[in-house]
Amino acid sequence: MQEVFALIEKSKKEFTNLELFEYMQDKSITPSKRLSFAPCMTHFIMSFGDLNKYVFKEAQPVTKLQHIINEHANEDEEHWRWFVTDLEKLNCDPIQNFSKALKSIWSEETKITRQISYYVAGYTLTAEPIIKIAAIEALEAVGNVFFCVSSQVASELNKITRKDYLYFGESHLKLETGHTVGTPEAEDFLAKIQLTDSQRQQAFEIVEKIFQIFTEWTYELLAYAQKYGVESIENQAEAVLMACI
> With 80 as the cut, is the pLDDT of residue 150 above it?
yes
The string of pLDDT tens digits covering residues 213-222 is 999 999 999 9
Q: Helical H runs in the chain?
A: 2-16, 19-24, 31-34, 42-50, 64-76, 80-89, 98-105, 111-124, 129-161, 170-175, 184-191, 197-228, 233-244
Instruction: Please state the pTM of the whole predicted model.
Output: 0.89
The string of pLDDT tens digits covering residues 65-115 is 999 999 999 999 999 999 999 999 998 876 668 898 899 999 999 999 999
As a whole number, mean pLDDT of residues 142-162 equals: 96
CB 237 within 8 A of CB 34: no
The topology under which CATH files domain 1-243 is: Heme Oxygenase; Chain A (1.20.910)
* Ranges of each domain in the chain: 1-243
As a whole number, mean pLDDT of residues 172-179 equals: 70
